[in-house]
Chain A
Amino acid sequence: MLLTSMQTWTSSVISKSRADGVLKLVHFKVLLFIVCLYPFFSLAWGLLTDQLGVNPVETLTRSSGLWGLRFLLITLCVTPLRWLTGINQLIRFRRMLGLYAFFYATVHMLLYLGLDQFFDWSEIWRDIIKRPFITVGFINFIALLPLVFTSTNKMMKRLGGQRWKKLHRLTYFVAVAACLHFLMLVKADIREPVIYIFLLTGLLAVRLIYQYRQKKLA
């Protein structure tokens, strides 16, 4: 729901501003920045007012992980949306959305390290080695780091467009692994992770179709 409302919101704002002839990207970015923080504050509020159920640590860990995955998928929506709507300015939001995926993934990771394992490193190491879903989650977090470090304009220039693009294809791996991490965690009811896998498959398929068409045209 948030996803669709955000998309309609961005596209309506953008088309309106186009009509005005001035692109006030800065304002949209600030607004988007605040909107993306909503899950974080709603969880913090829930924690302060004791509304996260009787196992708040579990609720926090699950929700933050889920939001990390959601932001990954939202980030992957940007490019297909550009093709679909022709609004190329959408690309300006992609970095922020991607960094939000990292933000929620970091919160998720810190909750696991701190409130689940209490920074007991030997226990954490054992967990990473022994439990496949933790292994995947951990690898996934590591894989996010080069993407974050190369997210600045400076780094983009240093790497050069082509190399930067190549490196950032890692995002696809991260998204697939994030879905897998979710799927492996579930005991019997795989419906929810399957929905995310379905969405991701769609987002990747759109890219393949687009590439295929471009090749045909060329």
Chain B
Amino acid sequence: MFIRNKKPWDLSDSEVTDYKVYKNRRQFLNTAISVGLASALPSIGLAKPVDELKEYEGLSKSPFSTDEEKSTFEAITTYNNFYEFGTAKSAPSLYATEFPDESETWKIEIDGECDNPGVYDYAELVKPFTLEERIYRMRCVEGWSMVIPWIGFPLGELLKKAQPNSRAKYVEFTTLYDPEQMPGQRRDVLAWPYVEGLRIDEAMNPLTIISVGLYGKELLGQNGAPLRLVVPWKYGFKSIKSIVRIRFVEKMPQTAWMKANASEYGFYSNVNPNVDHPRWSQRKERRIGEFLKRETLMFNGYGEHVADLYADMDLKRYF
């Protein structure tokens, strides 16, 4: 008689996977994977359908533009540091979809040490200036970079209209504070509102611009709509977004990042491969979309225009 002892690893018939289920295993796996991925990965959301954005025409080109390959519109509009909407790179594009609220006029206050202060509507403020395209490199303190075709006008032209007086040594910029529109401000991640600053000669440098758009279109919320600063030879966080106030001051402003961590973020924050940040080496950078890293350039490659500003300064000390 054949006696077969059931081994612990022998399956009983009831435990064997049903043939139908087995046949469908690939479909099951695919569904499982796509469901898992959909929940695990951030979805990509754009503020408005891109073709609804206002387009700028007849923009003049600028000798300051680089001819390097531009970063994609997708990269520029989905990979953002804008803590007012959350600290994840994807947060601004997800939560700034309705920003700024179109039912309210955006106002900008220009005050402080100047003879012609004022409060302006956004449209009124921008109107006198000829917009041009400036294709700039943008280097983030975290060690990545992009090439962005900004649209804007030199900040200096705006500042001159305000007629700064002799006590105006610095310019301080402030971002909107509105936790209703900016969910990231509901937590004290930084000392809101976000404040940045430039020395007056840095602010007057022709490279420094106020940007109102990119890639031929108006700015999206995640990029700092409706108007922002762009200072291409400094780390990205200096280029403050969604500005509501510009103030001329005599003393060096305390910026949001200086308040958060003064030993890591200095007032100047010029791109400098020779001065390391305690967390990231600044010698190299990853250009978004590229696999290999590049060498980081002094002043982000804008030295010929700005090195003179710091001629007698020890940049290790004034980082």
Contact = CB atoms under 8 A, between A and B. Distances in A.
A130 B37 contact: no
Nearest to B143: A116
A121 interface: no
B37 A54 contact: no
B276 interface: yes
Interface stretch (B149-157, B202-210, B284-292): B284-292
B281 interface: yes
A218 interface: no
B8 A42 contact: no
Given A22-B8, A189-B87, A42 B279 contact: no
Contacts of A132: 278
Contacts of A23: 8
Given A53-B89, A53-B90, A188 B33 contact: no
A38 B40 CA distance: 12
Interface string B31-71: 00100110011100000000000000000000000000000
A42 B83 contact: no
Contact of B189 (A38, A51, A118, A189): A189
B87 A188 contact: yes
Interface residues of A, number: 30
Contacts of A184: 279
Contacts of B283: 123
A83 to B, nearest CB: 27
B9 A118 contact: no
Contacts of B300: none
A183 B239 CA distance: 26
Contacts of B144: 55, 58
B: contact size bracket = 35 or more
A191 B286 CA distance: 27
Most buried by A among B40, B90, B280: B40
A126 B189 contact: no
A82 interface: no
B78 to A, nearest CB: 6
B278 A54 contact: no
B186 interface: no
B83 A188 contact: yes
B190 interface: yes
Given A38-B36, A46-B41, A189-B189, A55 B288 contact: yes
Given A54-B75, A188-B87, A188-B189, 4 more contacts: A46-B41, A51-B41, A57-B286, A123-B281
Interface of B: 8-9, 33, 36-37, 40-42, 72, 74-75, 78-79, 83, 87, 89-90, 142, 144, 187, 189-190, 260-261, 276, 278-281, 283, 286, 288-289, 292-293
Q: Closest 10 A-B residue pairs measured CB to CB?
A: A189-B87, A54-B75, A54-B79, A189-B189, A188-B189, A54-B288, A51-B41, A188-B260, A42-B36, A188-B190
